[in-house]
Amino acid sequence: MELRSPTFLAVVPAYNEAGSVARVIGALHEQAPQFDVIVIDDGSTDETAARAREAGASVVRMPFNLGIGGAVQTGFVYARDHGYDYMAQVDGDGQHDPSELTRLVLTLRDEPSLDMVCGSRFISTAGEYQAPLSRRTGIRLFAFMLSKILRQPITDPTSGFRLYNRRAISLFAADYPHDYPEVEAVLMLHAHRLRMTEVAVRMHHRETGSSSITKMRSGYYMIKVSLSLAVGLLRRRPVIDSGGPAAVSATRAI
Amino acid sequence: MQFGAQLASIVFAVLVFALVFEMVRRRRLHERYAIVWLGAAFALLVLAVWTGLLEAISDLVGIKTPSNAFFVIAFAFLLMLVLHFSSAVSKLSDETRVLAQRLALLQQRLDALGADRPPDHDEDDLVGDQRSSRGSLTGSKR
């Protein structure tokens, strides 16, 4: 038995989400009170940081827009440096329902061999969510590829609604994919022999703001993620160990 | 090769030498990148002075016009250089990302430490700081 009770951190990446971030924080406080909440304001030009502070969250303000990967990685570094046992990622746009966090927490605590639990929109019962067709095709394709690679069913590899344990936190604090990180992160996890599973969750449509993946960018998204997957598969050591020869990598400084 | 073209090549190579040297002297160019350009200027100089070399090379690889051989070499060189810069930019953007993350986390820690004090400068965020320092800079220039 552990002497102290485990600590939980909810990381809320937000870019120009002044209209919804306070509601997300409020819902977290209400429905997942064991979680400390930190908002990563990824260089917003609106009142996101002020709204988040008013709602009672700590705010890390990036000096400029790093993109979702860099923002979430900041959350991993924060969680690692403050010694959190579990970290959840909850988007600032209100897509993710904090009341579902309990399900992720229970799954991860019941199965100690798991390092990450991912909320999936596409596991049977919870099928209210309807993504645009082009996006669903992309998601299916990546889901299919990852399922083959991991030899376990992956239904929603682009979902950012995730809970990580200490091992996953320290891995992703050291190295996390840049642009559209979710799919690649699953592969990284696998390459490091960490384990994950999915649980069914409901997701809402975004309340305000706009997705980071617009129609214009979805082509780039598909190509970039495919390339990342291919390169990730061919990489012998996906993360450069500290002290090892550093190629293009941000690991050495953190 | 025509004498005029040969002279122009030599003058151009010497000019590149001088320009690169001057840029390094004024700290506009790191030695690391200067070496590449100096090497290119040197190669140009050698080809201009030693006229038989280019013909020998084009004969060797089977290119009929020596000037085409020159273009092929120059193109390959520029391609490699641009690739090198793409890699340098990737490295820089990684380093910038790490700096931004550490800066933001330090700022947050500072905010948390100062939370018990009266928030006399609550909006002293980075954007504001940059703006004010930029303002003072332009002010001092005036």
Stretch B91-114: mean pLDDT, rounded? 92
- Cα–Cα distances (Å) from B20 to A2, A10, B9, B33, B36, in that order, read 65, 52, 16, 10, 10
Q: Which residues of B touch A49 (CB under 8 A)?
A: 125
Q: Does B35 touch chain A (CB under 8 A)?
A: no
Phi, psi of A202 (to 5 degrees): -90, 145
- Quickly state the pLDDT bin for B63 (edges 50, 70, 90): confident
Nearest CA distance, A253 vs chain B (angstrom): 7
Of A236-240, B113-117, B134-138, the least confident: B134-138
Q: Which residues of B touch A38 (CB under 8 A)?
A: 108
**Residue indicated by tokens 């291919």:** A230
Beta pairing, strands A116-120 & A162-164: antiparallel
- With a cut of 90, say whether residue A45 has pLDDT above it: yes
State how far the Cα of A77 lies from the Cα of B105, in Å rounded to an integer. 9
- Quickly state the pLDDT bin for B109 (edges 50, 70, 90): very high
Q: Is A61 close to B90, i.e. CB distance below 8 A? A: no
Element at A168 (helix H, strand E): helix A166-174
CB A20 within 8 A of CB A208: yes
- Quickly state the pLDDT bin for A209 (edges 50, 70, 90): low
Q: Which residues of A touch B87 (CB under 8 A)?
A: 248
CB A38 within 8 A of CB A12: yes
> Using one digit for the tens of pLDDT, what is the confidence trace for B68-95?
888 888 899 889 889 988 999 999 999 9
The CATH homologous superfamily to which domain A8-234 belongs is Spore Coat Polysaccharide Biosynthesis Protein SpsA; Chain A (3.90.550.10)
- With a cut of 50, say whether residue B113 has pLDDT above it: yes
Best mutation target among B84, B91, B101 (most A Cβ atoms within 10 Å) is B101
State how far the Cα of A210 lies from the Cα of A181, in Å rounded to an integer. 18
Q: Does B108 touch chain A (CB under 8 A)?
A: yes
> Using one digit for the tens of pLDDT, what is the confidence trace for B7-40?
888 899 899 999 998 998 998 988 888 888 888 8
Q: Kindly provide the b/e burial profile for residues A30-52, where b requires at least 16 CB atoms within 10 angstroms of the residue's own CB.
A: eebeebbbbbbbbbbebbbbbbb
* Percent of the residues in chain B that have a pLDDT greater than 70, as a whole number: 80
Q: Is A61 close to B95, i.e. CB distance below 8 A? A: no
> Using one digit for the tens of pLDDT, what is the confidence trace for A93-147?
888 989 999 999 999 999 989 999 999 988 765 445 566 677 778 888 889 989 9
Q: Any idea where the domains of chain A sit in the sequence?
A: 8-234
Of A76-80, A210-214, B66-70, B105-109, the least confident: A210-214
For residue B115, what is the nearest residue in chain A, using CA coordinates? A58
Q: Does A245 touch chain B (CB under 8 A)?
A: no
What's the per-residue H, E or C state across chain B?
Answer: CCHHHHHHHHHHHHHHHHHHHHHHHCCCCCHHHHHHHHHHHHHHHHHHHCHHHHHHHHHHHCCCCHHHHHHHHHHHHHHHHHHHHHHHHHHHHHHHHHHHHHHHHHHHHHHHHHHHCCCCCCCCCHHHHHHHHHHHHHHHHC
